[in-house]
Chain A
Amino acid sequence: MSAKQTTTARLLSSTAPLAVLVLVFLAAWLTTPNFAEITLREGRFFGAVIDILQNGSIVCLLAIGMTLVIAAGFIDLSVGSVMALSGAAAALVLTSPLQSAPLAICAGLAVGAACGVVNGALVRFIGLPPIIATLVWLIACRGIAQTITDDQKVRFVSPKFEHLANGSLFGLPLPLLLVALIGASAVFLVRRCTAGLQIRGLGASPTAAAYCAVPVTRITLTVFGICGACAGLAGMIAAADIKEADVATCGQYLELDAILAVVLGGTPLRGGRANIIGSLLGALSMQTISTTMQMRGVPAEHTLLIKGAFIIVATLVQSPALRPRLARIFLRRAA
């Protein structure tokens, strides 16, 4: 491959997540009436696009945490259950005599982060493969959530807490702003901080990272902790949206959505690189598909099929075995 071709290939792969989003968006816009309509009512924007941004915020948050975990060479399958547990914890604080929304949010975040740190500890100190460690925690977390709520949905009334999902600032939904803020911090962490370099180094080669005096324990616990805290926040947004904590179904299968968003965003599953913006674009592509399907009256269950096909296509394109072959075909056409 010549230098020019390499540059073209790199440009293609870095713009791919955006291209996917644009394609999905265009398809939705062309096939669905009133898709791109945005109206301003009561100081707030409404419309399908805003819905996508608001409903997509949960997967966006999960995807940010998951990107860091995958970049460090791990995987976290427990985020969906962690969502359920922290949502339940926040709801229990809100229904307790304290009834304080800030305290509930702190509790939810702390529970999420603690769950993440436990995952990290299982991986680092006991040496379990991350898939198995987080699988154990996936089962345990939902079990704990069901136990502390006695298997009941916990309803709560707290206008302040509900702002988390339905509030707005400058006409934009609050969850969207939270995603933007956390996403920007994550980008800063990955690109501008030593810790970001260490995360990527650990993912690229654990042995080399250990020789280069990367604090492996601290980095492991940190990435899992951040991922857990993001899942905790996502769980509270999900609970605030429906004004109750539903431990049985909250976050089910969302770990798959988060991983899919990361894969679509161009972060390789073998670790070593982190593309936060790409993951966010990937999450929004998926939410666009879900919302469009919903608007067109397609049963929500059928979107599972489309998501599955998306994972296969996205990973095949990224596959180390197939990628050079695909690139060659594509570049020959372009030339």
Chain B
Amino acid sequence: MNFPVAQRPFFAGLAALLLLYAAAGGRYHDQNFLSPEVALGLFSDNAPLGLCAVGVALVLLAGSLDLSVGAVMGCTTIIIATLIEKLHLHPVAAVSLAVFAATINGAMMGAIIHFARLPAFIVTLAGLFIARGGAYLISLESIAIRDSGYKAIAAWAMPMGAALRIPLESLLLVGATSAAWAFLRYTRAGRYVYALGDNPEACIARGLPVARTRITVHALSGLCAGLGGFALTLTLPAGTHTEGVGMELDAIAGCVIGGILLRGGAGNIWGALIGTLVLGLIVLAVATFETRQLTSGSTKVIIAGLLLGFVVLQRLMVGRTVQQTSHSPE
């Protein structure tokens, strides 16, 4: 089987996930870790992060960066909750409006990055500020969603066999990842994403629609963050300011662990899901299953160490071809 160099980090991430899962299964054997409920819980607990990571992966593949996903996700939960509870909109309309707003926000950031030739990190940093500030402008307090129609949607789950039910947010996560995968693999616009991340100059020289591609990936990242917000309101159910703080870093970490190259242009979108599950597995093990008392600080140190390890691994595996991506556009 052909084993391209740029694919190796993805398989390293996959191997890490399987190893961790097996190790956790062995270690917490008496606590029934290998049950399907735990596996399903892993998907549904990490759906918001996973959706954000898919968006970040799209942006990274195109050679850009998005630091605003956590804030956009938080802002979306507040918008959904406000529209339903204060303006008494139909849940479907509220969610569509909120996700649409997140998409437009992403598209605007992409447009500024492209047309003003500003570094992606500073524009999306501003986007982070604006999304957080905007959420506080809409409501200073978190809003609980009490609408019965919304509760019904949140409680819906796909029956699977006798006792298992797959919650909506897990379906959303897997569905969004599949859609992104199909987009990248089978559409022309999706191939342009890889091309743009691999070599922007060549794209311009070959007359590819650089502006459209760049704005599209940022819009899709906004869309994914918005869907992440929707998934979060399904589990909470509330609009909240405290969730998603620092999630942009976790999303990038997930992408890196899943083998999406930081310099752009190479990587498998399923890697975002795999990386998210690795992070989720660690958090789950530390928070629930580990009997020794560990602080949330040690989780952070573990995640940072893991991120560093995988970045170094990327460099070793893909070798010299990893260019040092400058934070400035030239």
Residues of A within 8 A of B (CB): 73-75, 122, 126-132, 135-140, 142-147, 150-151, 247, 252, 256, 259, 263, 269-271, 299, 301-309, 311-312, 315-316, 319-322
Do A75 and B129 have beta carbons less than 8 Å apart?
A: no
Among candidates A270, A305, A315, A320, residue contacting B129 with C-beta atoms closer than 8 Å: A305
Do B297 and A316 have beta carbons less than 8 Å apart?
A: no
- Check B130 for interface membership: any CB of A closer than 8 A: yes
Q: A71 CB to closest chain B CB, in angstroms?
A: 12
Residues of A near B295 (CB, < 8 A) are 146-147, 150-151
Given A151-B297, A307-B129, A320-B117, also A138-B122 (CB < 8 A): no
Do B112 and A312 have beta carbons less than 8 Å apart?
A: yes
Do A137 and B324 have beta carbons less than 8 Å apart?
A: no
Residues of A near B249 (CB, < 8 A) are 135, 138-139
Do B304 and A73 have beta carbons less than 8 Å apart?
A: no
Do B134 and A270 have beta carbons less than 8 Å apart?
A: no
Do B328 and A270 have beta carbons less than 8 Å apart?
A: yes
Do A140 and B304 have beta carbons less than 8 Å apart?
A: yes
Do B133 and A304 have beta carbons less than 8 Å apart?
A: yes
Q: A88 CB to closest chain B CB, in angstroms?
A: 10
- Check B321 for interface membership: any CB of A closer than 8 A: no
Do A304 and B297 have beta carbons less than 8 Å apart?
A: no
Residue of A nearest to B295 (CB): A151
Do A142 and B300 have beta carbons less than 8 Å apart?
A: yes
Residues of A near B307 (CB, < 8 A) are 135-136, 139
Among candidates A256, A271, A301, A302, residue contacting B128 with C-beta atoms closer than 8 Å: A256
Residue of A nearest to B303 (CB): A139
Do B296 and A132 have beta carbons less than 8 Å apart?
A: no
Q: What are the 7 closest A-B residue pairs judged by CB atoms, nearest first?
A: A146-B297, A305-B133, A143-B300, A308-B129, A304-B133, A140-B304, A301-B136
Q: B148 CB to closest chain A CB, in angstroms?
A: 31
Among candidates B123, B241, B327, residue contacting A129 with C-beta atoms closer than 8 Å: B327
Given A142-B300, A305-B134, also A311-B126 (CB < 8 A): yes
Do B330 and A270 have beta carbons less than 8 Å apart?
A: yes
Do A129 and B325 have beta carbons less than 8 Å apart?
A: yes
Q: A232 CB to closest chain B CB, in angstroms?
A: 19
Interface size, chain B (Cβ < 8 Å): 54
Give A136 to B311 CA distance when docked, in angstroms: 10
27 contacts between A and B (CB under 8 A): A74-B327, A126-B311, A130-B327, A136-B304, A139-B304, A139-B307, A140-B301, A140-B305, A140-B308, A143-B299, A143-B301, A146-B295, A147-B298, A247-B297, A256-B128, A269-B327, A270-B330, A299-B136, A301-B132, A302-B133, A304-B129, A305-B133, A307-B129, A311-B126, A315-B122, A319-B118, A321-B117
Residues of B near A151 (CB, < 8 A) are 295-297
Among candidates A150, A270, A299, A305, residue contacting B130 with C-beta atoms closer than 8 Å: A305
Give A307 to B133 CA distance when docked, in angstroms: 9
Give A256 to B246 CA distance when docked, in angstroms: 13
Among candidates A146, A263, A303, A305, residue contacting B122 with C-beta atoms closer than 8 Å: A263
- Check B160 for interface membership: any CB of A closer than 8 A: no
Residue of B nearest to A140 (CB): B304
Give A167 to B243 CA distance when docked, in angstroms: 38
Residues of A near B123 (CB, < 8 A) are 312, 315
Among B121, B123, B326, max chain A CB count under 10 A is at: B326
